[in-house]
Each structure stands twice: as structure tokens, then as C-alpha cells.
A and B are shown apart, each in its own frame.
Chain A
Amino acid sequence: MSEAPLLTATGLHLSFGENHVLRGIDLTVHRGEVVALIGPSGSGKTTLLRSLNGLATPDAGRIVVDGGPGEQVDLTFDGGPRRAWGRAGRRARAQRESLRDRSAMVFQHHHLFPHLTVLQNVVEGPVQTRGVPRTEAEDRALALLDRVGLADKRDAYPRELSGGQQQRVGIVRALALQPDLLLFDEPTSSLDPELVGEVLTVMKELAEEGWTMVMVTHELEFARAVADEVLFLDDGVVVERGAPAQMFSAPRRGRTREFLHRILHPLD
């Protein structure tokens, strides 16, 4: 790919107190690419994903998001104080917001707004923060809801939906922001097994349509089918990266092999 990558993260480090969660992570995502982050819990994959969206602030490293002219976001993290006030705080906040404007996150626990209907959940972002007129935002929201088969739930409240429906609304809420980059944080991990399929189906369609996606997932079969690149993280570093076919059938590293074996043959 000759085009500049959409997102380039280099040398990301992040600690929570004594706990060094990210230890120098590099990640490149090209437009239209689907990247899957796999690894044991506590390996840093969710923290990495949150760093890409400004929900976590690395202590060191650099994140560049390419865009149209004048739209480049280039953040260097220098471990400055993460205060929420004063000039340093305002600068840090502006950085997080510029990063956030380019991407949208789908959470493990959907985090839909419980006091708003499905339709209100979806248009809240575009209307409040992107200046889209309400009627236009609603038209677009309904089209997206229709795509995931939930147009008839427009006036329902989130608690009236099944887990799979909630997560599909979560995906639509992210799509409505028209982000360059979709981030998924284990979107099926908290679902009942029979509801996983409907969410993965939507994600697969998005991948086929050319959305750029980074996803943390334990669904290895899904990653194999959909991802262009898989990164195996363990203990805050990328142990191995490669095309899913190669990685899953012939992992080069012992740690990758052990992890895949534990997941694919849990009873051995």
C-alpha cells in the first residue's frame, strides 16, 4: 500500500501506577484494513485500543492519524501531568478530543444512554457535536438502524432490547459519527452465546464494505475470517503480528502457540 497509513502509533508506553501495561507498542493501520488484537487478559490490548481513542493517555509514544489537508492529528506523549485543569490540562484535553473526532468506539458493555430511546442514542452525537440538523441525523440514523434490522425499535429504550440488539445499536451509534476508524472492544464478550452471531454478522458486513476497523476480540474464528492483520499481545508488547492464516496455522512464537492452543483446545 503506497498510501500513507490512516493511523500510526509508535512506541506507546503506559503505566497505571506500578503496572506497566503498554511497553512500547507499534501499530499501523491502513485505510480499509481490519486489524485484530488478540492476547490473554491483562495483555494490554484494551488499553491500546483506548489509547487510540484518547480514553487512555499514554506516558510516551506518538500517535498520528492522517486525514485530508489540515486534518492531520499528530500527538506526542511525553508523560506530562495528566491534570484536568490549567494550560497543560486544556492542551491534553484538546489532544484527546482531536483524536476522538476521528474514531468511534464500540464497548464491551454497550454503554447505551439508558434515558434516551434507540433513535435518540444514535443521533445524540451527530446533533450535539457534529452540528448535523436533527431531521437529517434522524434520516441517516433510521437508514443505519434499518441496515442492522432494528428500525422498528427506534422508540424503544435500551433496557427493552436483548443484548445482541443493544450491541447492534451501539455499533450504529458509532457508525452515525461517520468516523475514519471504528474501534471494537470485545463487542461480543458479554453476550449470551446465541446472540454473538448477529453482532459478528454486522461487523463482517462493515469489514466487507471497507470500513477501517481495529478490534479486540476473543473470537478467533471471526478474526481469521475478517482480519487483514492479527497482532498477538502479551504483557504489554506485540509478541507476533501477521496475516491471520499464517498466524493461526503456523505461529512463529512459542507464546503465541501456547495462547492459541489454550483457546482452541481448552480441555487439553
Chain B
Amino acid sequence: MDVQLFTDSFWPLVLGGLTGTIPLALSSFAIGLVLALGVAMLRLSAHPVLAWVGRAYVSAIRGTPLLVQLFVIFYGLPSLGLTIDPWPSAVVAFSLNVGGYAAEVIRAAILSVPTGQWEAGYVVGMSRHRTLRRIILPQAARVSVPPLSNTFISLVKDTSLASLILVTELFREAQEIAAFTNDFLLIYTEAAIVYWIFCTVLSFGQSRLERKLEQYV
């Protein structure tokens, strides 16, 4: 094994993660969560058309590969005259994807809060909307931290797909080094190790967050 090559490549890969993978995952996750909350509300709506729109969205996202969604946005939309740069294309694709998956998590978390909490909100004079915001969502948030953390960690790894639309991130960095040095086994294994380090740190953060939230429910 070429130890020199390994150590020389390590920081470029970590840097690719810090400047590409993590910002891509964070921004997509943030936008995706907002979207997911909206989709979850559609799914929970008593209005049949709105509920159907929510179901259709989740079905479309979960029923098609992320890579295909990414390619439709980056390579497909230009034929409609809509050309989006690599980075924003990736953010759009990943956000839409998170929106679909996290919507189901949030919906389940909201449904897990006992009906009595809604009624207690109504009894103290709150509207449905205010009860949701002040009473239900804080409790649902606690329940949804573990599954949402999993969604986030999956997303961190899925951002490697963005290398296929020329976004500079960890895996794209690895591809370039590998092509240059021809040591594919070493570099791709090293990339895997760096992904693993990132995900392990995130899992650690997840369990700390869970313990913190446990205090008050």
C-alpha cells in the first residue's frame, strides 16, 4: 500500500467533504424539512384533493431512484429551456427527495401525539394551527429525531451521486485523484473511510441530541 499517497490524499478528501458534501447535505436537509412539513400537512389534511396531492408527491419521490431525479433536473430540464448549475441542481434534487421521505416521518410523529393534546390545546382557546405549532410539533419533534437523523445520514452518503453532475464534493475529489494516480482501490477505500468518519461523528451528535430532548418528555 502506498502510505504516502494515502496520507497525501486524506486532507483533500476531508476538505472535499467539508466544503462539498456537508454543505450540500445541510442545505438540502434544511430546505427538505420545510418542504416535508408542508407535505406532511397535505397528507394529514381532511380535504381529499390536498391529501391526494401529498400522497402523489411522496409516491413519486419514493417510487423513483434519486439518481434519476437528479438527472431529470440537471440533464433533462435544459431541453425545456431551464438550465440549472450543478450545485443548485443537486440542492433541488436532494431537497425534493428529503421532502418526500421526511414527510412520512413527520406525519407519523404528529399522529403519535395523543388526541388529548389536541383537545387540551383547543380547550385553552388555541386554533388548530396554533395547537399544531405550540403543542403538537414540539412533542412530534422529539419522536422524529431518530428517524430524521437516519434520513440525514443517508443524505450525506447520497450526496456522492452529485459527483455525476459535476458537483465538487468528496467523491468527485476521490475520482479526480484516482484518475490521476491510477490507484483506484486505495483512493476509493479511503473515500469510504472518510464518509464513515463523517457519519460516525453525525451519529454521535444524534445520540447527544436525543438525550438532550429526552429531558422533558
Chain A interface (Cβ within 8 Å of chain B)?
53-55, 83-85, 93, 96-97, 100-101, 104-105, 107, 109, 111-115, 124-125, 128-130, 157, 159, 173-174, 177
Contacts and interface: CB of A to CB of B under 8 A. Distances in A.
A258 to B, nearest CB: 32
A173 B135 CA distance: 15
A111 B46 contact: no
Contact of B122 (A55, A83, A174): A55
Contacts of A55: 119, 122-123
B31 interface: no
10 contacts: A55-B123, A85-B46, A93-B128, A101-B125, A107-B116, A114-B217, A115-B216, A125-B124, A129-B124, A159-B217
A83 B48 CA distance: 11
B127 A97 contact: yes
Given A113-B117, A114-B217, A115-B217, A100 B122 contact: yes
Contact of B139 (A93, A107, A114): A114
A54 B125 CA distance: 11
B139 A115 contact: yes
Nearest to A114: B217
A128 B125 contact: yes
Interface in B97-121: 114, 116-117, 119-120
Interface of B: 45-47, 114, 116-117, 119-120, 122-128, 130, 134-135, 138-139, 142, 216-217
A107 B120 CA distance: 8
B119 A111 contact: yes
Given A83-B46, A107-B119, A128-B130, A115 B138 contact: yes
Chain A interface main SS type: loop
A267 to B, nearest CB: 34
Given A107-B116, A113-B135, A157 B216 contact: yes
Contacts of A114: 139, 216-217
Q: With a 10 A CB-CB cut-off, give which of A55, A128, A157 has the most chain B CB atoms.
A: A128
Contacts of B138: 115
Contacts of A104: 123-124
A128 B123 contact: no
A128 B126 contact: yes
Contacts of A124: 124, 134
Nearest to A104: B123
Q: With a 10 A CB-CB cut-off, give which of A96, A113, A130, A157 has the most chain B CB atoms.
A: A113
A51 to B, nearest CB: 13
Contacts of B126: 125, 128-129
A177 B120 CA distance: 12
In the complex, the 9 A-B pairs of residues with the closest C-beta atoms, listed nearest first: A125-B124, A129-B125, A111-B120, A111-B116, A84-B46, A115-B138, A105-B123, A85-B47, A114-B217
A93 B138 CA distance: 24
Contacts of B135: 113
B208 to A, nearest CB: 19
Contacts of B130: 128-129
Q: With a 10 A CB-CB cut-off, give which of B120, B126, B127 has the most chain A CB atoms.
A: B120
Contacts of B217: 114-115, 159
Given A96-B122, A107-B120, A115-B138, 10 more contacts: A55-B119, A83-B46, A85-B45, A101-B125, A109-B116, A111-B116, A128-B126, A130-B125, A159-B217, A174-B123
